[in-house]
Structure 1
Amino acid sequence: MGKRRIKHVTVIGSGIMGSGIACHFANIGCEVLLLDIVPRELTDKEKSQGLTLEDKEVRNRMVNENLASAIKSKPAPLYHKDFANRISTGNLDDDLKKIKHTDWIIEVVVERLDIKKSVFEKIEEHRTKGTLITSNTSGIPIQFMNEGRSEDFRKHFAVTHFFNPPRYLKLFEVVPGPDCDPEVTDFLMNYGENFLGKTSVLAKDTPAFIGNRVGIFSIQSLFHTVKEMGLTVSEVDKLTGPVIGRPKSATFRTVDVVGLDTLVHVANGVYENAPEDEHRDMFKLPTFIDTMMQNKWLGSKSGQGFYKKVKDKDGKSEIQGLNLDTMEYELQDRAKFATLEQTKTIDNVPDRFPVLIKGKDKAGEFYRKSFGSLFAYVQHRIPGISDELYRIDDAMSAGFGWENGPFEIWDAIGVQKGIDLMKEQGKEPASWVNEMLEKGFESFYKVKDGATYYYSIPDKDYVKKPGQDSIIILDNIRKSQEIWSNSGVSIQDLGDGIINCEFRSKMNSIGGDVLAGINKAIDLAEKDYDGLVVANSGTNFSVGANIGMIFMMAVEQEYDELNMAVKQFQDTMMRMRYSSIPTVAAPHQMALGGGCELSLHADTIVAHAETYIGLVEFGVGLIPGGGGSKEMTVRAAEGFGEGDVELNRLREYFLTIGQAKVSTSAYEAYDLGILKKGKDSIVVNASQQIAFAKAEARRLANMGYTQPPPNKNIKVLGKQALGMFLVGTDAMQAGKYISDHDQKIANKLAYVMAGGDLSQAQEVSEQYLLDLEREAFLSLAGERKTLERLQHMLQKGKPLRN
């Protein structure tokens, strides 16, 4: 057969999951047909409009309402609202014949075998031979869904299990049917990684596959522990959140978001269908869960679950937690544990685990119990649910947002120490774990020549984890390829003449050490290499300048030092722009303030699709001072002369800063003028981003990169623009849309972006604009209200309106 390409996808079933999957295929450029059933009766509104069951808008009502509701939901399922145009809708009675021309059919109907079988029967009538057909089921065995299907259907049939929401959760479990062609399995695994941006995990057709099997076990295990140890729900969430590299929603908040009924459905499925599971009793539901199910306390969708938002006697909202003994909601004390205090200075999550299990308080006891129980469980799931241990870790990281999977945590604690924790609970290590230790292998993973190797049970030796040849993992090369470092930066040789500057400061904020590191990286690249990438694998690319440092200098009125610090920031950004080698920025997740300014000054940006980028300095009472205000002025001027009104164009860029706009995806950053079409690119799979950025730096170098000359011909509009901005901010303040201080900041920004109060439009240099920007920044830093905003952000982590 020829090369399989996916241009058109049909999704059958438009519920939350089906609509989410349709949106994500639209995100990556596919045309999508979304189908659902025809309603059986008219609504009152349809009756009043004189419609009948034969009218198209009635027949497509269900699919259209579901899709519209998905698109409006938050977080948004689409990278950009315009991508909705790639989705067309229809119903199973009138439009199923259209699947003749589709490349991939995905079934996402309710979890009932009889309904799925009847849908597959209808699909067989219209499907073209060789078309992929997959189900998003998480619980129905494939052999039952295959019954009565043709040989060609079975050869092209597998389960592709997305996690909700499909845009954001990276796990993509591929479960081939017994008759599935290996070429189809390989195609689905590859497509998940390279097109959908997922972590593709090959799973077996066992109850709940890998992610939910281990994830639900972990939650059920905590349900039993919480009662046994007398912990509150908020204490468990404190212990199982970011401190151990898990999402903020931790355990009970996550269940509230996902829905208790979903969890119960999976747990019951494992209990009923996995009689051989030695921990089967863990999947039995505790009595408090039965009570919650009877009361319909299912979480966010029913207004209450393990948490409930209530108004106190003063009318203020407060979050109460469920007392699992009394089954009453109550305000829960802020959870505090001495053991957690000991990890506050440890930034690297795996380094915290050995400290946590040594705790002498309830937290230490909790970690010993829960990790011991988790290790005992996962060791016996091989080869049942997976032949390789790394797939279990990948599934937990990608599906549940764990920074480290179970075997990685076990490695961090030490394999022998993990066995001791199991034995404390009367559980023994699996024979393969003992065998591994007897052979002198003391960890499940090791790094060799920049690649990760895992312990393979059948090979009784370490085997290279597949799929690494096309990616660069900084954690694996930092030791061997590092050429320079300080407290905030590590510089590594990526090979092929390209080096990488990796931020290692707290939250990757940009202070003096990071600026020194960027300058050093440019020095090294100009002297001995061909190009520079600025990339890291932190949670966020960079949350911006170190505002603690700015606050201290401003409070101490050390304006000369602050002026020098801002000048150093500006000069460093200009070196990114005007060095003799190509510079590539690779932002991901949050790239705010200074993180955005650095990206704006690189020769090109290779952004991850999930990049939330913007100039947010207004929130702390400042304007962008690291070249951001200058750069937005330059970008507005680059568009002058295209026939549009110059003032309107400048106003758009002014509002991007003045309203502290942040893109909710890299695609939206094009609209804000932060990414440039034709110059900057977007990568959907985060693990491939650094390799793409390196390739881009290499490409620019190969094309004969020449140091650009300084830009001295930037058209600014002077008084004409300044007048328009001042009238606008005056009206906003008079209408009470902005405070006096907001107006003051906006007017300072207006002065910079107009190029000062020049009597007429003229051309200026970048340095002229940088000097205006720095002056405005310093004058705002001396304002009491700005200091209040900075202090509030440092203490509370959110902006103050004053």
Structure 2
Amino acid sequence: MSKRRINKVAVIGSGIMGSGIACHFANIGLEVLLLDIVPREVNEKEKAKGLTLEDKAVRNRLVNDALTASIKSKPAPLYHSSFAKRITTGNLEDDIAKVSEVDWVIEVVVERLDIKQKVFENLEKHRKPGTLITSNTSGIPIKFMSEGRSEDFQKHFCGTHFFNPPRYLKLFEIIPGPKTSPEVLEFFNGYGEKYLGKTTVVAKDTPAFIGNRIGIFGIQAMFHLVKEMGLTVEEVDKLTGPVIGRPKSATFRTVDVVGLDTLVHVANGIYENVPNDEEHELFKLPDYVEGLMDKQWLGSKSGQGFYKKSKDADGKTEILGLDLDTMEYRPGKKAKFATLELTKTVDNVADRFPILIKGKDKAGEFYQKNFGAMFAYVSKRIPEITDELYKIDDAMKAGFGWQHGPFEIWDAVGLDKGLELIEAAGKTPDAWVTEMKAAGVNSFYTVKDGATYFYDIPQKKHIKIPGQDSFIILDNIRKTTEVFSNSGVSVQDLGDGILNVEFRSKMNSIGGDVLTGINKAIDLAEDKYDGLVIGNQGTNFSVGANIGMIFMMAAEQEYDELNAAVKYFQDTVMRLRYSSIPTVMAPHGMTLGGGCELTLHADRVVAAAESYIGLVEFGVGVIPGGGGSKEMALRASDMFQKGDVELNVLQEHFLTIGMAKVSTSAHEAYDLDILKPGKDIVVVNTARQIATAKAVARQMADMGYTKPAPRNDVKVLGKQALGMFLVGTDSMQDSNYISEHDQKIANKLAYVMAGGDLSEPTLVSEQYLLDLEREAFLSLTGERKTLERLQHMIQKGKPLRN
């Protein structure tokens, strides 16, 4: 069978979801044809221009307006604004014949079966045989959609359900129709994971599939529990947010963002279509939700929902919470529970669950009831919605941003404890769970030889989760492959001669223990291995240097110790660059300050597409002191070409630091000269990132890696550049764009990046620039206003402008 390749995709329907899907296909480099209907009439603006329904601008108005709105929306659907040119727009009358040129047609029109069937009938007239065709429905049965279509159509047809927003949410559900060929399913399973960067889950054709069936159950259960227990919206959001590894928006804020109408539509669909579900009545909307729908208080889109932004008497924005009894807004209430206090020192979320369910307060009672009901419900959804329990966990993690799925949480509290919670909640588990326990199996998952195994119900034993061979899961290998660890890092042998340094500090911040770990890993790699990766699988790669430590030293005026600490950081990044083995960095998520400085000094970078990289030290009143200021001067020097306006190139690099620019994707990091085209690569699926970084390190070693020669040829522009920068910061301060202290920091950075006040352009060494950088950094830590900024960031978690 010839290999199927996707080069061009047609997306039918340009609403929020359709445009978002089109943008994500453009993100991965495909040509996209986005089509929608022709407007019924000319609008006022078009009439004024003398346009008629025959004009292309009018005929394509709906699709063009929708795509433009999507591209402008936040968070951005594109990795880079230039990727928009990969999308061509058109309409379903003039351009439908173009679907004959594509490899995959994805339908994203309104959720009505009659309309979808009509669209498929039209598409079949132009679709060439063998072309994949899918529907992004969130609940209409797949079996009904392809009725009456040709055999070739039905063989290549299935549901492919993206979650919104398609760029950011990882779940990609694949729902086979009655005649979908196994080859098509297998193709989508691999394509979603490898190319789209998704967690692909094959679901059965049941109402709301897997993610929404379990997710909406969870939200509806919460809706009813909140009234039963007399909880506030703020209390529920406190209990269901980061403390249990869920997004900050938790429950009610998430509903506001997604839109209550969207949630109600799916919940009603489940209620109508699962009459035999033992929790059928739970999908009925509580009175207060009906009340919100009646008032059209749908959340962010209508300006108010469970929360409402308001201005107080002083004009300051405040967030009001909805009182569910009176249905009136009141000032936000801070939620506090003794049980949550007990978990403050427990960094690993899985270790918090046993503590939370033992709570003697309202929080403990909430978790007991909540988890008991959830455990019972998911046990009974097998084999109805899926045959394999891990697919439920995958769907909840990828579609709803949970760190742990229901069966993983059950494992964390223990099988017996979970059964107790089910009984206390007045529920019963499915028979297979008690049979599993009777057979002496006491966990749903186990780890063997670096792979995760799940309990397979028909086989009554643990079997390996498929598709793990292209991943390296650090949690699974840490115990058996660790060659060094301290409080900040774990160094593992990834096999094939490559080591990995995994940060294990709080928020992966970089302090002395992390730097010691990196140096130890380089020692080990140079002695007995062939290459080194620095990568972890935390929420973020690193939020930067440990500013608490810097603040303490600066406040105590321990400048010798601070000087030594900064020099140690600089020496470590230089060792990364000049060690005798290849070094590969694997950043993802927030990669800020010191995390960015480490990234700048590796031989190669394998960045996750969702990497937010930048030098943000200005926010805490200093300049980058771990080689970042030096490196931006060096990178500017490398870009100076004959005829270039060198000052302009240097100024761009200066502003990257001075404006604390952070890329909103790895692709934008190329624009900031943080990543290098042709050298550094971007991967869409973070699950593959460590394995890819390892392969890059191995390849470099196999090609005969030689460490680079030290640089003594960095061109600095001296007084010529310094003068320009000082004039610029002066005028910005005069115009009140920056404060006096901002100006002081900017002038220190200017001095470093200009190479000091040299009388003419000069070639200098990296060490010369590092010494200037360190001196400037230390002098700024002696400033009261810098100490205020550091303290504010430590206490409030956001920058102070003073």
The TM-score by the shorter chain falls in which range? Answer: over 0.9
Aligned partner of residue 282 in structure 1, secondary structure: helix
1:713, CA displacement in angstroms?
1.2
In the alignment, what sits opposite 1:585? 585
Q: Is the CA contact (8 Å cut-off) linking 2:394 and 2:405 kept in structure 1?
A: yes
C-alpha displacement of 1:332: 3.1
Structure 2: how far apart are the matches of 1:120 and 1:708?
Answer: 59
Q: How does 1:657-672 map to 2 (within 5 A)?
A: 657-672=657-672
Deviations 1:64-94 (A, max 9, x none): 0000000000000000000000001000010
Other-structure match for 1:76: 76
Shift of 1:148: 1.1
CA distance in 2, matches of 1:94, 1:514: 60
User: What residue in structure 2 maps to residue 16 of structure 1?
Assistant: 16
For 1:130-149, what aligned pairs fall within 5 Å after superposition? 130-149=130-149
Mapped to 1, the partners of 2:703 and 2:646 lie a distance apart of: 34
Q: Are 2:215 and 1:211 equivalent residues in the alignment? A: no
Partner of 2:328: 328
Question: Which blocks of at least 5 consecutive residues in structure 2 are unaligned?
Answer: none
Q: State the alpha-carbon separation in 2 of the partners of residues 739 and 326 from structure 1.
A: 47
How far apart are residue 131 of structure 1 and its match? 0.4
**Cα deviations by residue, 1:504-523 (Å, 9 ceiling, x for unpaired):** 00000000110100000001
Q: Deviations over 1:366-422 (max 9, x none)?
A: 000000000010000000000000000000000000000000000000011000001
Distance in 2 between residues matched to 1:428 and 1:216, nearest whole Å? 20
C-alpha separation between the residues in 2 aligned to 1:92 and 1:19? 15
Corresponding pairs, count: 802
Instruction: Please give the residue correspondences for 1:695-774 in structure 2 after superposition, counting only pairs within 5 Å.
Output: 695-774=695-774
Alignment of structure 1 residues 569-648 onto 2, 5 Å = 569-648=569-648
Cα offset for 1:736? 1.1
What residue is the counterpart of 2:437 in the other structure? 437
Alignment partners' CA distance in 1, 2:424 and 2:713 = 73
Given that 2:158 and 2:180 are in contact with CA atoms closer than 8 Å, whether structure 1 keeps it comes out as: yes
State the alpha-carbon separation in 2 of the partners of residues 309 and 641 from structure 1: 52
Specify the alignment match of 2:685 in structure 1.
685
Listed one character per residue, the Cα deviations across residues 264-302 of structure 1 (whole Å, up to 9, x for unaligned) are: 111111111111211111101111111111110111001
Residue pairs, 1:473-488, within 5 angstroms = 473-488=473-488
Matching of residue 428 in structure 1 with residue 439 in structure 2: no
Q: Give the aligned partner of residue 563 of structure 2.
A: 563
Amino acid corresponding to residue 287 of structure 1 in structure 2: D
Supply the AA of the counterpart residue of 2:39.
Answer: P
Residue 788 of structure 2 aligns to a residue whose secondary structure is helix
2:299 corresponds to: 299
Moved more, 69-78 or 634-643: 634-643
Q: Deviations over 1:620-655 (max 9, x none)?
A: 110000000000111011111253111111111001
Q: Secondary structure of the residue that 1:590 maps to in structure 2?
A: strand
Counterpart of 2:476 in structure 1: which amino acid?
N
Q: Secondary structure, in 3 states, of the residue corresponding to 1:126? A: coil
Q: Give 1:592 deviation, angstroms.
A: 0.2
Counterpart of 1:436, as a letter, is M
Q: Deviations over 1:200-226 (max 9, x none)?
A: 000000000000000000000001100
Aligned equivalents of 2:636 and 2:304: distance in 1? Answer: 49
Tell me, in whole angstroms, the C-alpha distance in 2 between the residues paired with 1:653 and 1:435: 64
Residue 785 of structure 1 aligns to a residue whose secondary structure is helix
| Amino acid in structure 1 at the alignment position of 2:328 | E
Identity of aligned residues (%): 75
Q: Distance in 2 between matches of 1:241 and 1:157?
A: 38
Does the residue aligned with 1:647 lie in a helix, a strand or coil? helix
1:352, distance to aligned residue in structure 2 (A): 0.1
Superimposed CA distance per residue, residues 284-339 of structure 1 (whole angstroms, 9 cap, x where no aligned partner): 11111111111101110011111111122222211111111111111132000000
Distance 2:763 2:328 in 1: 69
| Distance in 1, Cα, partners of 2:642 & 2:469 | 45
> Aligned equivalents of 1:747 and 1:327: distance in 2?
54
Match for residue 376 of structure 1? Answer: 376
**Match in the other structure for 2:109:** 109
CA contact (8 A) 2:241 2:251 kept: yes
Contact in 1 for aligned 2:606/2:692 (Cα 8 Å): yes
Counterparts of 1:256-655 in structure 2 under 5 Å? Answer: 256-655=256-655
- Using the TM superposition, give the Cα deviation of residue 139 of structure 1 relative to its aligned residue in structure 2, in angstroms: 1.3
Post-superposition shift, 1:147? 1.3
Q: Distance in 2 between matches of 1:112 and 1:430?
A: 34
Q: CA deviation at 1:486?
A: 0.4
Alignment of 1:143-182 (within 5 A): 143-182=143-182
Q: Structure 1 residues 45-54 or 422-431, which shifts more?
A: 422-431
CA shift for structure 1 position 727: 1.0
Separation in 1 of the partners of 2:52 and 2:681?
Answer: 48
**Which residue identity is paired with 1:704?**
G
Distance 1:537 1:507 in 2: 11
Paired letter, 1:555:
A
Look up the match of 2:673. Answer: 673
Equivalent-residue separation in structure 2 for 1:266 and 1:503 (angstroms) = 41
CA distance, structure 1, for counterparts of residue 305 and residue 551 of structure 2: 41
For the structure 1 residues 770 and 141, does the alpha-carbon distance in structure 2 shift closer, same or farther, using more than 3 Å as the test?
same
Q: Which moved more, 1:608-617 or 1:40-49?
A: 40-49
Amino acid at match of 2:10: T
Task: State the distance in 2 between where 1:641 and 1:400 align.
Answer: 49
Give the distance between the partners of 1:445 and 1:601, measured in 2 at CA. 39
Counterpart CA distance in 1 for 2:20 and 2:701 is: 40
Once the two structures are superposed, residues 707-749 of structure 1 have per-residue CA deviations (whole angstroms, 9 ceiling, x without a partner) of 2221111111111111111111111111111111111111100
Taking the aligned partners of 2:52 and 2:186, their CA distance within structure 1 comes to 47
Offset, 1:436: 0.8
Shift of 1:343: 0.1
Matched, 1:225 2:225: yes
Report the AA paired with residue 562 of structure 1: L
Give CA-to-partner distance per residue, 1:123-158, whole Å, 9 cap, x none.
Answer: 011110000000000111112111111111100000
In the TM superposition, what whole-angstrom CA distance separates every residue of 1:175-206 from its partner, at most 9, and x where no partner exists? 01110011001001111000000000000000
Q: Is the 8 A contact 2:321 2:333 kept in 1?
A: no
Q: Which stretch shows the higher mean deviation, 556-565 or 706-715? A: 706-715
* Residue identity in the other structure for 1:751: Y
SS at match of 2:527: helix
Aligned to 1:66: 66
Match of 1:235 in 2: 235
Aligned counterparts of 1:303 and 1:725: Cα–Cα separation in 2: 44
Q: Distance in 2 between matches of 1:75 and 1:739?
A: 29
Alignment gaps of 5+ in structure 1:
none
Distance of 1:646 and 1:315 partners within structure 2: 46
Alignment partner, residue 186 of structure 1: 186
TM-score by length of 1: 1.00
Cα distance in 2 between the residues matched to 1:397 and 1:152: 35
- The alignment status of 1:5 with 2:10, answered yes or no, reads no
2:523 partner amino acid: D
